[in-house]
């Protein structure tokens, strides 16, 4: 038997309202507000609510300011927003967000397709972005996307990911997340990258963002738990994908993640039945059947 000690508690960030909806046909402002408010009643303590991007790039987020004005904000929940650049950060900060995220792809080709600049060009803007956010009293998280693979370039070397991380930490980012944008990660790959990161940067706050494109999402979570990772993104109903990553289906479903963790005796603070109810709502709002198996099957005992 293994002597692995798993975390006693895991922090789950719900990313459905942002990452989940950006790959769907646009839904109304009120529908987005309804989803965010419903998620806030499940016990989840962190919600990635919006992104402040140009509407031509991601039209699904064109009404970000209007959505945020209407959301019933729970003081016990940490709401965050994704920004692509300094202008986006200024909008998010003006709206009242203090937790911001910026995405940089480890793959140069994906970065070009995603935000029309090279990885190096994105990294070069980080110091000024960090300064602006910190001066406003906020924090900036670096999300390294395509950390395990790129739909255009294939496998992404661990050294390439660590190069992006080093540049981000030198710029002063507050934390990291590795994004499995195309669902190419497997448990051995997770072990290699997380292990290399811990060796190079043992004190960095690290979260993981898995997609279930190839059916390995929860297996990857288990491998990460064995390594002591206690911070994961997930999306209600398995909503999500990347508009600039062909074939990249949804994130791991929040209710599936909670079901696994509960059975392992790991606390999330999230009410599983309530989250399944929100997954049913999400399915209605986007107008299609979602991929979550726990949404279909329900909890173990009905």
Active site residues: 242
Burial of residue 56, with CB atoms counted within 10 A of its CB: 0-12 exposed, 13-18 middle, 19 or more buried: exposed
Given a contact cutoff of 8 angstroms between Cβ atoms, the answer to whether 48 and 14 are in contact is yes
CA distances from 83 to 16, 21, 49, 229 (A): 16, 16, 12, 25
Structure tokens at 96: 């009242």
Torsion sign across C-alpha atoms 157, 163, 168, 169: positive
> Can you list the alpha helix ranges (DSSP code H) found in 136-237?
158-171, 187-200, 217-226
Structure tokens at 281: 């709502």
Please name the residue that has the structure tokens 């995603």.
114
Burial of residue 199, with CB atoms counted within 10 A of its CB: 0-12 exposed, 13-18 middle, 19 or more buried: exposed
Please name the residue that has the structure tokens 């980080």.
126
Given a contact cutoff of 8 angstroms between Cβ atoms, the answer to whether 140 and 102 are in contact is yes
Q: How many helices (H) and strands (E) does the chain have?
A: 11, 8
For residue 145, give the nearest of 175, 111, 194 by alpha carbon.
111
Distance from C-alpha of 74 to C-alpha of 83, rounded to nearest angstrom: 22
In SS3 terms, 216-239 reads as: CHHHHHHHHHHCCCCEEEEEHHHC
What residues does 141 pair with on adjacent strands? 101, 175
**DSSP code of 8?**
S
């Amino acid at each position: 038997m293994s002597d692995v000690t798993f975390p006693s508690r895991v922090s789950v960030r719900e990313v459905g309202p942002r990452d989940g909806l950006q790959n769907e046909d646009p839904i109304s402002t009120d529908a987005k507000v309804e989803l965010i408010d419903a998620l806030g009643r499940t016990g989840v303590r962190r919600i990635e609510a919006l992104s402040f991007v140009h509407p031509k790039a991601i039209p699904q987020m064109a009404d970000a300011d209007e959505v945020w004005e209407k959301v019933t904000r729970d003081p016990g929940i940490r709401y965050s927003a994704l920004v692509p650049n300094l202008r986006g950060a200024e909008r998010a900060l003006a709206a009242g967000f203090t937790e911001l995220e910026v995405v940089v792809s480890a793959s140069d080709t994906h970065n070009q397709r995603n935000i029309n600049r090279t990885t190096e060009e994105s990294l070069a803007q980080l110091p000024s972005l960090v300064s602006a956010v910190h001066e406003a009293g906020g924090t900036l998280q670096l999300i390294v996307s395509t950390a395990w693979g790129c739909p255009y370039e294939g496998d992404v070397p661990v050294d390439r990911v660590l190069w992006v991380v080093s540049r981000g930490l030198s710029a002063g980012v507050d934390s990291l997340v590795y994004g499995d944008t195309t669902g190419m990660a497997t448990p051995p790959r997770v072990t290699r990258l997380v292990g290399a990161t811990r060796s190079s940067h043992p004190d960095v706050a690290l979260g993981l963002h898995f997609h279930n494109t190839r059916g390995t999402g929860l297996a990857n979570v288990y491998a990460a738990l064995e390594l002591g990772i206690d911070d994961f993104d997930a999306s209600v109903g398995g909503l999500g994908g990347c508009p600039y990553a062909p074939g990249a289906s949804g994130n791991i479903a929040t209710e599936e993640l909670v079901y696994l963790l509960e059975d392992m005796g790991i606390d999330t603070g999230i009410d599983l039945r309530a989250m399944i109810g929100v997954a049913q709502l999400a399915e209605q709002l986007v107008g299609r059947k979602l991929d979550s198996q726990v949404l279909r099957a329900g909890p173990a005992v009905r």
